[in-house]
Amino acid sequence: MTEKQEKILKSALELFAKEGYHATSTSKVANNAGVSEGLIFRHFKNKEGLLMAILKEGENKLNELFADIVMESDPQEVVRKAIELPFIVPESEYEFWGLQYKLKWEIEMDYSHKTEPLTMALALAFVKLNYESPQQEAEFLTLSLDAIGAALIKRSMANADKMKSFLLKKYGL
Amino acid sequence: MTEKQEKILKSALELFAKEGYHATSTSKVANNAGVSEGLIFRHFKNKEGLLMAILKEGENKLNELFADIVMESDPQEVVRKAIELPFIVPESEYEFWGLQYKLKWEIEMDYSHKTEPLTMALALAFVKLNYESPQQEAEFLTLSLDAIGAALIKRSMANADKMKSFLLKKYGL
Amino acid sequence: MTEKQEKILKSALELFAKEGYHATSTSKVANNAGVSEGLIFRHFKNKEGLLMAILKEGENKLNELFADIVMESDPQEVVRKAIELPFIVPESEYEFWGLQYKLKWEIEMDYSHKTEPLTMALALAFVKLNYESPQQEAEFLTLSLDAIGAALIKRSMANADKMKSFLLKKYGL
Amino acid sequence: MTEKQEKILKSALELFAKEGYHATSTSKVANNAGVSEGLIFRHFKNKEGLLMAILKEGENKLNELFADIVMESDPQEVVRKAIELPFIVPESEYEFWGLQYKLKWEIEMDYSHKTEPLTMALALAFVKLNYESPQQEAEFLTLSLDAIGAALIKRSMANADKMKSFLLKKYGL
DNA sequence: AATGAATGAGGGTTCATTCAT
DNA sequence: AATGAATGAACCCTCATTCAT
C-alpha cells in the first residue's frame, strides 16, 4: 500500500462519510487526496473498488473489536464487554463508523453476518449464565447494541453514561 | 393531489426504495408513472421535493402507528403495543419502510425526534409500572424496537415470532 | 425527423467521413452541429446509434441505386447500367460513400449482403446473354465495380472515362 | 530488433487486427506482449509508431509477393501468377492482411502506389499479349484482384476455387 | 395542466504518454 | 534496456432542470 493509495482511501472515507457514497464524485476524492483522478482507477479499479476497500477495513476493525469478547471465557465478562463495546469507540472514529452504517443501507448487501461472532459469544455466555432463552437474548442484545452504536455516532443520545450503567445493571453487572 | 401527482409519488417511492434515491433518475420516475418528465418539476419543484413528499408521508404514517400507543392509558398495554409495533407491519409495506430507513442515512438530517412520541409514552408507562429507570428503559426499548424493525425489513431476522414472545415475556407480558 | 436531428446526422456524416468513426468524438459532432451534446443521446441513444442511422441511410441509397437495375428487363441494359453505376455517383456524394467504405472495415459486420441484389440481377442478365458461368461472372463484376467505386472515391483512378469505356467494350456494349 | 520489440510488434498486430487500431490500448498491447507499457514508447515512440512499423511490414510482405510476378518474363505466367495471388495467401495470414485492409481506410493515406508494381507488370504482360487496352486491362485486373483478396479475407466469397478457375479461363489460361 | 425537446454540467472511466527509479 | 506509478485530457454518457408549445 503506497502513500498515495492511503491518501486516496483516507479522502474517500472522509468524503463518503460526510456526503454519502453516491454524492461523492471520484474527482472530489482525487482533489481532496491531492492526486490525479486516474490514479484512483489504477489502484482500485472502480469507484466501487474504493468502497469495497473501505468496507473491508470496517469488517476487519469490527472483528478486532469482537476478538476480545470472543476469546473471553468468563460469561459475565463477555456480557460486560459487549455492553461496553459501543461506548468505548473513540469519537475520532465516529466518522469511520458512521460511514459503515450509512453504507449498510446505501449499498444493497447482507451485513447481518458481520455481527454474528458477537451474537454467538453472547449466546454461549447466556447459556452459561442460565438465561431462559439464551439465543433470543443474544440476538436481542446484539441488535440493541448496534442501535445504541448508531445513536452514539449520530450524537442523538442525550446521556451515554447513564445508558451504559443502566444496561450493565439490567444484565446484573 | 391530482391523480397524476399520486402516480408520480407512488413511482418515486417504488423506485427510490428499490434502487436508492441517487440511483433513480427523474426520467425513470416519469416513465414508470406514465407521465412526462417535466410534470414532476411542475408539481414537486425538485427531485428533492419528491423526496421530501415521501419523507413527509413516512412521518405521517409513523405518527398514525404511534397514535394508538400514545392514547392508551393502561401502561401494560402501552408496552405491549410498542413491542408488537414492528411485528404488525405488513410485508406489503416493507418496501416503504425500508426506504425510510435508507433515507435516514442517505440524507443528512436528524431523525431522532421522529420516535420521540413513542419514547415519551413508554417512559410514562414505565413510571406507572414502577420501573427503576423509566427514562432509560424507554429510550432503550425505543432504540431496540427500531433495530428490530430494521432487521425485519431487511429480512435478516430468522424467527420473528420467537423474538416477539421473548420480548413480551421480558417485559412481563 | 426534426431539424436538429438532421443537423446532427449531417455533422456526424461529415466528421466520421473526414476523421473516422472512432477518432470523432460526440462532442465534436455536437459542436459542429451547433447542438448540445446531450441531444445526440436523446435522439440516437448511442454514438453507435448515430452510426447505425448513417449506415441505414447508406443502405437505402444503395438500394435506390440498384432499383433501376433490378427492374430492367433487357439484359444488355442491366449490364450497362451496372457498369455505369460507380461513374454516375456525383462528386458531392463522395464523402458520403467514402464513409460507407470506411465503416465497412472499421466496424465489424457482414456487409456482403448489401450488394446481393446487384449480383442477382447481373447473374440473371448473364444467363439471358448466354455467358458460360453467369454466376461467377456476376460475382466478379460486382466485386470489380465495388473496387472501382472505391478507387473513384479515393480519387486514385487516373482516368475514369477511359475505364468506363474499356469496361463497356469488355462486356460488348 | 530485440526479442521484446518483436513481441510487442506481434501483439500489436494481433490486437489491432482483432479489435481495431483505436479500440486497442497500448496497455493491452503491453500486457499481451508480457512487457511494461513504457517499453512500447521507448521502442516505437508512439502508438502511431507501432502502427507505422506494422504498415511497413505489410508493404514489405506485399512487395515480396509481387517480386515473383515482376521478375517473370513470360507474360502468360505473369497474368496467371497475378490471378493466383489472392488465392495462395494462407488462412493463417488472413488476420495480418485483414489489418492492412482495415488500416487502408482507418488511416488517412494514399495506398494506391502500393499495388503499382503489380499494375505495371500486368500492363507490360498485356502489351506482349497484344491486348487492345493493356493499361486499362492491367488497372482493372489489379483493382479486381484487390477486391477478391478483400472478399477472401472477410470470408464472404462462397466458392473461392470456382472464382479462381473462372478468372484463369477468362484470361485464356 | 401537460409535454418532451433541449440544455449544460458533471459523472465514472480509459488512455496515451511521461518520468523517477 | 526496462519498469510501472502517475498524470491529465478526453471520452461517452446521464441527469436534473428549463422552456416553448
A105: confidence class by pLDDT, cuts 50, 70, 90: confident
pLDDT tens-place string over residues A82-94: 999 999 999 999 9
Q: Would you tell me which residues 106-165 of chain B have a C-beta closer than 8 angstroms to some C-beta of chain A? A: 106, 108, 110, 112, 133, 136-137, 139-140, 143-144, 146-148, 151, 154, 156-157, 162-163
* Backbone torsions φ then ψ of A171, nearest 5 degrees: -100, 20
**What's the pLDDT score for residue B107?**
67
With touching defined as 3 or more inter-chain CB pairs under 8 Å, the answer for chains D and C is: yes
Judge contact between B97 and B153, C-beta under 8 A: yes
Per-residue pLDDT averaged across A73-79, rounded?
A: 97
Check CB contact under 8 Å for B20 and A22: yes
Residue type, D147: A
CB B78 within 8 A of CB B69: yes
How far is it, in rounded angstroms, from Cα D140 to Cα A129? 99
C-beta within 7 A of nucleic chain F, residues 41-80 of A? 42-43
**pLDDT at A1 (0 to 100):** 80
pLDDT, residue D35, reads 96
Residue of higher predicted confidence among D5 and C104? D5
d(CA C109, CA C112): 9
Residue A1 approaches strand F within 7 Å at CB? no
Closest residue to E5 measured CA to C1′: C39
pLDDT for res C111: 72
Pairwise CA distance, residues D99 & D24, whole Å: 13
Nearest residue in chain A measured CA to CA from B134: A166
Which pLDDT tens digits describe chain D residue by residue (173 residues)? Answer: 899 999 999 999 999 988 889 999 999 999 999 999 999 999 999 999 999 999 999 989 999 999 999 999 999 999 999 999 999 999 999 989 988 888 877 765 667 788 999 999 999 999 999 999 999 999 999 999 999 999 999 898 989 999 999 999 999 99
Indicate which of B113, B140, B141 best probes the interface with A, i.e. most A CBs within 10 Å of its own CB: B140
pLDDT band at A160 (very low <50, low <70, confident <90, very high): very high
The mean pLDDT value for A76-104 works out to 93
Q: State the pLDDT at residue A114.
A: 87
Q: Output the distance from B54 CA to F20 C1' rounded to whole Å.
A: 31
In the complex, which nucleotide's C1' lies nearest to the CA atom of residue D41? E17
Q: Which residues of chain B have pLDDT under 50?
A: none
Q: Which chain C residues contact residue D148 at CB under 8 A?
A: 143
d(CA A157, CA A159): 6
Q: What is the pTM of this model?
A: 0.88
Burial class (CB in 10 A: 0-12, 13-18, 19+), B122: buried
Give the CA angle between residues C108, C112, C118 to the nearest 5°. 150
Nearest to B141 by CA among B96, B82, B57: B82
Candidates A102, A133, A166; nearest CB to B136: A166
Which residues in C lie closer than 8 A to residue D170 (C-beta atoms)? 140
pLDDT tens-digit series, residues B93-139: 998 998 888 887 776 666 778 899 999 999 999 999 999 999 999 99
pLDDT of residue C151: 93
Q: From the CA of C30 to the C1' of E6: give the distance in Å.
A: 12
| Best residue of A83, A143, A166, A168 to probe chain B, by most B CBs closer than 10 Å | A143
Superfamily of domain B1-45: Homeodomain-like (1.10.10.60)
- The residues of A between 114 and 173 with beta carbon within 7 Å of nucleic strand E are none
For C27-49, what is each residue's pLDDT tens digit?
A: 999 999 999 999 999 999 999 99
Closest-lying nucleotide for C41 based on CA to C1': F13
Nearest alpha carbon to residue C119 among D170, D88, D147, D104: D147
Residues A63, A115: Cα–Cα separation, whole Å: 9
Predicted pLDDT at B104: 77
Amino acid D107: pLDDT: 67
Neighbouring CB atoms inside 10 A of C155's CB total: 13
Rounded CA gap, B8 and B10, in Å?
5
**Interface touch B148/A143, C-beta < 8 Å:** yes
Residues in chain A: 173
User: Domain residue spans in chain D?
Assistant: 1-45, 55-170
